[in-house]
Amino acid sequence: MPGRLTTLAAIGTGLALLAGCVPASGQHSATVESSSSTGLASAGSPSAGPTSPATAVVPDQLPGMPPVTDPGNVYAAAGAGMLGRAARAARPLVYVPHNSGDVWVIDPTTFAVVRKFPAGKQIQHVVPSWDMRTLYATDDTGDRLTPIDPRTGLPGRAIEVLDPYNLYFTPDGRSAISVAEAHRSLVFYDPHSWHEQARLPLPECAGVDHADFSVDGRTAVFSCEFAGRVAVVDVASRSLVRMIDMPVRNTHMGPQDVKLAPDGSRYFIADSDQGGVWVLDGAATRVDGQIATGAGAHGLYVSRDATRLYVTNRLDSSISVLDARSGARITTWRIPPPASPDMGGVTADGKQLWLSGRYNREVYVLSTTDGHLIARIPVGLGPHGLCVWPQPGRYSLGHTGITR
C-alpha cells in the first residue's frame, strides 16, 4: 500500500521509512527518499563449539538449533577470542577464492601467499561448515564443492553439488543449502552424505545469492539480485513464505548481501545499484527504508562486539561503518583507488577486516580501530568470497562466516 515518508530516530540519520506496510505479495508503489567421502569432517553436533545453556531464551526457536543465549545480541557467542574446540584446532589462514578456479592461501601474520591450489572452474566463496570443522570452496560452474581441512589448509576430494554459487547451513545443522543461482533454486543436502534432501524452486528470484536467518532460526531471507526483491523462506518446511520487492527494483546488480541486526529487529540488505542498504523489518514482512552508503554496496559484516556493521562499497573504494542495531551512519573508511572492496570477514580478535578486491586482483587488510589500510596484497584474477579462519562462535550458518 502506498505510504507517506516518515523518519525514525532509531534507524539513524539518513534512513527514510515507509509508513505503509508491504503486502504479502511484496508489491507496492511507495517511494523512498534517496540517501561423498572426503576424508574430512562435515556437520556435526552443537558440542563442536562452547557449551550452551540447556534452556533457550527465545521462545519457539527451530528445534535442534543451539539455544540463543542473548536475545539482544544473536552474535553474543561470536565475540572476540570466543573460539570453539574445532576453531582452536585450525591453522590461522586466509582463503581467497578466485573466479579463475584457484584458491590462494595467505598467512595473516606475514601477509604472504603460502599456497595455491586448483578447486574447480570458477570459485565463488570459501564457506565454513556448520560445525566449523571443514571449509568448502564453492564452484558453481563445475557443480562441486572442494573441502578444505582448516587444520592443515589442504584440499580434499571434490563433492558433486548442484550449482553452489553460495552455501549456507540451516541453524539446526541438519541441512546444507546450495544457493543454485543459475537454477533459481535452493537445494537442500544432508551435510554428512551430501545426498539431496529437497529442492525449493524460486522462479521469481532471479539471481538468488545471499542470505541470513532470524533469531529463532525459523526464517531465512534470500536476496534476488536480478529481480530487485528478496525471498522469505520457512526453514523447517523448506517452503517459500513470500516475496518482497524493494521500493526500487534494481535488476542489474540489485540486492546483494543480507545481515540480521544483533537484536533481530531488522535485516540489512545491500543493493549495489542503489548504492546503499535497504532495511527490512525483523519479521521479514516489509521494507522500512534505506541507508545511503556508496556505489556498489555489496558485503555486510558485523564487528566482534556487535556494535558496528561494515558495508563494502566496491565501486566507491570505501567501507561504510554503521551502527549495527539502528543503521545510523558512523563513519566512512576509504581505500586509495583504484580499489574494489568486496567480500571477506573480521579476524577472530576483531582487530582487522579482510576484504577481496574483486576487480583489482588484490586483498585489503584494514584496522577496525580507525579504518586505516594495513596491507594491500596482490592476488589472482577475480578474488571473491574471502574467508578469514578461524572465527569465534558455536556454529556457522555459512557464506564467508556467519557465526553465532
d(CA 55, CA 59): 10
219 is written with which cell numbers?
526464517
Taking the model in full, what pTM does it have? 0.88
For 53-79, the pLDDT digits (tens) are 445 588 899 999 999 999 999 999 999
pLDDT computed for residue 56 by the predictor: 58
From 44-58, 124-138, 315-329, the region with the lowest mean pLDDT: 44-58
d(CA 228, CA 66): 33
Topology, domain 5-35+82-389: Methylamine Dehydrogenase; Chain H (2.130.10)
From the list 290, 388, 293, the residue with the least C-alpha distance to 333 is 293
For 314-344, the pLDDT digits (tens) are 999 999 999 999 999 999 999 999 999 999 9
pLDDT computed for residue 59 by the predictor: 87
pLDDT at 50 over 60: no
d(CA 130, CA 6): 40
**What is the rounded average pLDDT for all residues in the chain?**
89
Name the E strands within 2-132. 5-7, 16-18, 93-97, 102-106, 113-118, 123-128
The residues spanned by each domain of the chain are 5-35+82-389
For 257-315, the pLDDT digits (tens) are 999 999 999 999 999 999 999 999 999 999 999 999 999 999 999 999 999 999 999 99
The DSSP bridge partners found for residue 322 are 309, 329
